[in-house]
A and B are shown apart, each in its own frame.
Chain A
Amino acid sequence: MSEDTILKVRDVYRTYDIKGGMFKKGSQLTAVKGVSFDVKRGSTLAVVGESGCGKSTLARMLTMIDAQTSGGIEIDGLPIDISKTGISKEMRQKVQIIFQNPYGSLNPRQKIGHVLKEPLLLNTDMPAEERRDLALQMLEKVGLQPEHYGRYPHMFSGGQRQRIAIARAIMMKPKLLVLDEPVSALDLSVQAQILNLLADLQDELGLTYVFISHDLSVVRYLADKVMVMYLGEVVEYGTRDEVFDNPQHDYTKTLFAATPKADVDSIRKRLAAKTA
């Protein structure tokens, strides 16, 4: 393995058992079927696909929420197989996740300061004062104010909440950040702010992103490499330009064709077709 590869995934499978009922036999659902890829340190891998394609299952395995059924995951040289070894604090520090819905991912009864300090409390021996200082620093880093420290989540807008979720994720100084549709619940102008923030943090902290999205325009904007998943399998994997300029698989082509085009030429073509 070269020094530069931070995430190495080899032939990973994940199978869920579906329980049978009185009249129905139990069955098995394979959500992820033999996925392999590498991610270079400091780069962004975008994972694209429709609902049910296994992209969120993949995110759950990378962030140690779920164990893989078989196959190998290696993060920063550390093999991950939580069904065998459990999770150590060291493993926790490597990866963090940001979810799609900033309304559902913050505890409504927890003040923001507490939200940010909690990962440190659980995973490090840092004294209380240091934790507080670090939380305040982090607020500033994601574009919020120190006075937000004592407020509750309901006092924030969706974009601000997503900033809080980002701050919480980077409190532990992770190497790898998994972002599960981080901007799809946000308005266009707020989306731009959050994407800018993510780009800044990547430069500053040398973060590696696994960015899960169904929005191809966002993917094209920020990805270094793109992986397209369909029904649990990887159907296309390459650099951004390779995938966007010359898609190989039929599903990728369908996906591109279905994406609304907002350029003047396509509008003109549509209007012409309508009047004809």
Chain B
Amino acid sequence: MSLLEIRNLKIEFDTAKGPFKALDGVDYTVDAGEVLAIVGESGSGKSVAMLAMMGLLPDSATITADKMDFEGLDLRALSAAERRKVIGKDISMIFQEPIASLNPCFTVGFQLSETLQTHTVLKSSEIKGRVIELMHSVGLPDPEGRFNAYPHQMSGGQCQRVMIAMAIACAPKLLIADEPTTALDVTIQKQILDLLVQLQQDSGMGLIMITHDMGVVAETADRVIVQYQGRKMEESGVLALFENPQSPYTKALLSALPENATGDRLPTVSDFAEAGGF
């Protein structure tokens, strides 16, 4: 059985101009111990699918799916309160802007403790020890000293490490990382990606990487889903995708990478859209 199985997921938003289809019948499956990358440009519906699964979309969204199972548990049937028991514990998420995702008014130690208080039965005396252990495992220097630091006293890379610590605090079975390194420098990006993959391999959890960066895909994924305007263009193993892309959109995306440039001009996706039609 797959860890996560979603069939025919459709998401529509009510707008002043009538319904807007953000996602049009896409399937997702993730197994335990697998890294799935969802790639696409802005507006491809890559984040919205995961937000829908976590129940984080506003009321203006209409979500339908034939199946939405996490470990055999039907996510569609859950009430908000039941859902909260799963979200944050078994499924957790890391967002793009680490500094904006942390509350500036509380110390990082407090924010990390909060997760453990909500989802575990640890005594408050044990929690601090566990938090320091977590901070240590994500490679934050001087965890005891950082426990009482505020987010603004740390760099973007360090804040992202705190976010990762928070996400893995309850040993989730599925971790969703939504553009985890887009706001970071390349050298820091490398460290964060290595850390995520390391944690994933050690714990055997499923990992979903949402990204627009083909480099990040190449460095982390086992399997890749390529999306464009709310539809799935292609799904294949990472090697097959780069070696022999099937859909015209994937081909276009790969040839628009500056490192693959051959002539004077970069081919753009719209060149391919006219020729290939997607």
Tally A residues with Cβ within 8 Å of B: 37
Q: Is the CB of A255 within 8 A of B187?
A: yes
Q: Which residue of B lies closest to A203 (CB)?
A: B264
Q: Is the CB of A50 within 8 A of B185?
A: yes
Q: Which of B219-269 contact A (CB under 8 A)?
A: 219, 222, 238-239, 242-243, 252-254, 256-259, 261, 264-269
Q: Is the CB of B270 within 8 A of A267?
A: no
Q: Which positions in B face A, CB cutoff 8 Å?
A: 41-42, 156, 185-190, 193, 201, 212-219, 222, 238-239, 242-243, 252-254, 256-259, 261, 264-270
Interfacial chain B residues near A270, Cβ < 8 Å: 218-219
Which one of A51, A158, A188, A255 contacts B214 once the chains associate, using CB atoms below 8 Å?
A: A188
Which one of B188, B256, B264, B265 contacts A188 once the chains associate, using CB atoms below 8 Å?
A: B256
Interfacial chain A residues near B193, Cβ < 8 Å: 260
A199 at the interface (CB under 8 A from B): yes
Which one of A190, A196, A262 contacts B218 once the chains associate, using CB atoms below 8 Å?
A: A262
Q: Which positions in A face B, CB cutoff 8 Å?
A: 50-51, 158, 187-193, 195-196, 199, 214-218, 220-222, 254-255, 257-264, 266-268, 270-271, 274
- Asked whether A258 and B256 contact (CB < 8 A) given A51-B185, A199-B265, A267-B238, the answer is no
Which one of B254, B259, B270 contacts A221 once the chains associate, using CB atoms below 8 Å?
A: B259
Which one of B187, B214, B261 contacts A258 once the chains associate, using CB atoms below 8 Å?
A: B187
- Asked whether A214 and B185 contact (CB < 8 A) given A188-B253, A189-B268, A262-B242, the answer is yes
Q: Which residue of A lies closest to B42 (CB)?
A: A187
Which one of B212, B218, B242, B258 contacts A187 once the chains associate, using CB atoms below 8 Å?
A: B212
Closest 6 CB pairs of A and B: A260-B215, A189-B269, A221-B258, A258-B190, A192-B266, A187-B41
Q: Is the CB of A189 within 8 A of B214?
A: no
